[in-house]
A and B are shown apart, each in its own frame.
Chain A
């Protein structure tokens, strides 16, 4: 459905994208997971036709976005990272404008506006000016404006940004409900849990490059089906390092470390060595294989929250 090939984009000296390449299949929610400045918004903007790439290509439904720009844009819905609404107009008036741009009118426009207002739970506040909305309400309206014309493809750029965890879950539910009936979606986020919960397939982006992509299972396998083991106690780096050769170790602070351990045997081996050397260990926690492990392995760092 969406084929992104070797996108390169620089802003002056800053190379935002260094050959981004992925394919989104019809009907799936594809996650672009990456930290701040990874190049997520740049990628979305190029697909939406708002930026032109220095090189590379994007095809949507087989159409090249450069050649068939308007036809492609007609199929797309965009939910921008920064809320883009007319503050002085009401929620309903906003929706009627955005829907109108995609050719909706009359009763159809009216009904679709009602539908998405219902979807995001703003029916009661539909006729209030957007400037009187809370941050979360604006986020939801921002989302609904991208869905009003029932796009075939929806580009969601961090639609949960700046929202408390409770409301975030709510938005994920809305997206799951809204993105149905064969709609294809690209969802960018820097929240691991969101990608895990929502996305059929995920690409991990950092510094303008895709480091890995696949389903959650495939990605976790990439990390070697490892466990993340966090150990804390009254020890120093120098004491433990010789005991942990061959294990990926990240020292959080003195007296606390995190290891990525591929298998069960290696896990008991490493812990056994620590215990038999008499290292004073206070607490051990073992985490199931997860996207976080993959991320740490690929980027050598955690996603910032």
Chain B
């Protein structure tokens, strides 16, 4: 059998026999997800900075007002920073990425609702952010359903009230009582009406407009991509570390004393690190689906992104181990590197909650692209264009670090042909 595959098979067998270190590395991300998810779940709010939402109201009617007031009340007020703008200003602010979303309420929105004609709200989302615009979309949808439901329940009374209002006189007490009595039996019907709401929300992302499939928000889907990054980094680290361990155990020298090229030995060690990390990652994703109910999105995009991300992690570790001479140095250095990568990647604090300065720095961390890509695929259901930069970065940097790491490691092993 090919020496590379032989080494990969042997390493996988060895990991199965003593899987403790891998299992530990595996439990860390899972534990983190569970912990953070539970904290979020218990308090019912995300520890995010305020979501900045622009609203351009051309309608100036009561339905539009209802929407605006709704977003300024109670818990939503803590979450959403609502700023009124005119439509042109709103678009230009969005183009510059100054807010998470822009809600456009067109002229005649209220009138259409009252007339039971289709009414539309436009939602423009910031493509730079993956999670926050979705929260806005979710809230807007809920409110639209509420307005619509109210309009349906009060359809006839509203007609009458309108008549009264347009008649220019205040209704008599008896008339009002009749109106209210009429509304009572209709409330029971709310559920039935909700399904065929007449208000539609046209949502678009500034750069990439397109139809968005239905989905619900899952806090775990926000957290777990970060946890997966933590898992990938730690597992690729301990599996690449094996090259030092084998060197100390003498088995590496024994392999090199055989008729094998040192380049193939390095390739075998890197490939086995890749394979073990991939298996661990697949398990994490499966657990995310089964235990946390995360819908990961397109399997093909997920596979493409995950493979690139693992290539990047293994490449980085191979590169580091090209320079590290002992486990002591590795112990001192690598956890720090990994934690920095995790922090700037947004595995500890979600990108959305970072300060603007940190957000600007995070973009330069390769780990950011790993996490952001995962979020885009699962939460945002982006098309290939939406993760093209992510794929370019993880594959490009992954190939670069892998080649550099392999060359350095090969040199370290003696570099014979």
Contact = CB atoms under 8 A, between A and B. Distances in A.
Interface stretch (A1-9, A76-84, A171-179): A76-84
Contacts of A71: 259
Given A84-B251, A85-B251, A129 B414 contact: no
Contact of B10 (A48, A70, A86): A86
B301 to A, nearest CB: 37
Interface string B255-276: 1111111000000000000000
A234 interface: no
A136 B49 CA distance: 65
B294 to A, nearest CB: 34
A101 B6 contact: yes
A103 B259 CA distance: 9
A100 interface: yes
B250 A101 contact: no
Interface in A63-98: 69-71, 73-74, 76, 78, 80, 82-89, 93, 97-98
Contacts of A84: 249-251, 253-254
B3 A89 contact: no
B18 interface: yes
A103 B13 CA distance: 19
Contact of A80 (B10, B18, B253): B253
A102 B257 CA distance: 10
Given A73-B257, A105-B1, A129 B250 contact: no
B17 interface: yes
A52 interface: yes
Interface in B8-24: 10, 13-14, 17-18
B257 A78 contact: yes
B273 to A, nearest CB: 17
B17 A98 contact: no
B332 to A, nearest CB: 25
Contacts of B17: 88-89, 129
Nearest to B261: A70
Contacts of B249: 84, 87
Nearest to A97: B10
B322 to A, nearest CB: 19
A97 B414 contact: no
A81 to B, nearest CB: 9
Given A52-B414, A69-B417, A88-B14, A98 B254 contact: yes
Contacts of B3: 101
Interface in B222-261: 249-251, 253-261
Given A73-B258, A101-B6, A101-B259, A50 B414 contact: yes
A18 interface: no
A69 B261 CA distance: 10
Contact of A50 (B6, B14, B251, B257): B257
Nearest to A145: B254
Interface string B387-417: 0000000000000000000000000001011
B141 to A, nearest CB: 54
A49 interface: yes
B1 A49 contact: no
In which size bucket is the chain A interface? Answer: 20 to 34
A113 to B, nearest CB: 14
Nearest to B10: A97
Contact of A78 (B1, B10, B254, B417): B254
Interface centre among A70, A84, A98 (most CB of B within 10 A): A84
A58 to B, nearest CB: 14
A207 B417 CA distance: 31
A84 B251 CA distance: 5
B161 to A, nearest CB: 80
B14 A89 contact: yes
A70 B254 contact: no
A9 to B, nearest CB: 14
Interface string B307-332: 00000000000000000000000000
A295 B260 CA distance: 39
Contacts of A69: 416-417
Contacts of A88: 14, 17-18
Contacts of B417: 69-70
Interface string A245-284: 0000000000000000000000000000000000000000
B1 A100 contact: yes
Nearest to B417: A69
Nearest to B17: A88
B13 A93 contact: yes
Given A74-B259, A97-B10, A101-B6, A49 B254 contact: no
B258 A101 contact: yes
Given A52-B414, A86-B10, A89-B17, A80 B254 contact: yes
Contact of B260 (A78, A80, A101): A101
A105 B14 CA distance: 19
Contacts of B255: 101
A50 B10 CA distance: 22
A89 B12 CA distance: 11
B250 to A, nearest CB: 3
Interface string A106-141: 000000000000000000000001000000000000
Nearest to B255: A101
Contacts of B256: 49-50
Interface centre among A80, A100, A102 (most CB of B within 10 A): A100
B43 to A, nearest CB: 45
A133 B14 CA distance: 17
A145 B253 CA distance: 14
A50 B203 CA distance: 65
Contacts of B258: 73-74, 98, 101-102
Interface of A: 45, 48-50, 52, 69-71, 73-74, 76, 78, 80, 82-89, 93, 97-98, 100-103, 105, 129, 145
Q: List the 6 closest A-B pairs by CB distance, nearest first.
A: A84-B250, A74-B259, A88-B17, A101-B258, A84-B254, A78-B257
5 contacts: A80-B257, A87-B249, A89-B17, A98-B254, A101-B260
Given A49-B256, A49-B257, A88-B17, 4 more contacts: A45-B253, A50-B256, A84-B250, A97-B6
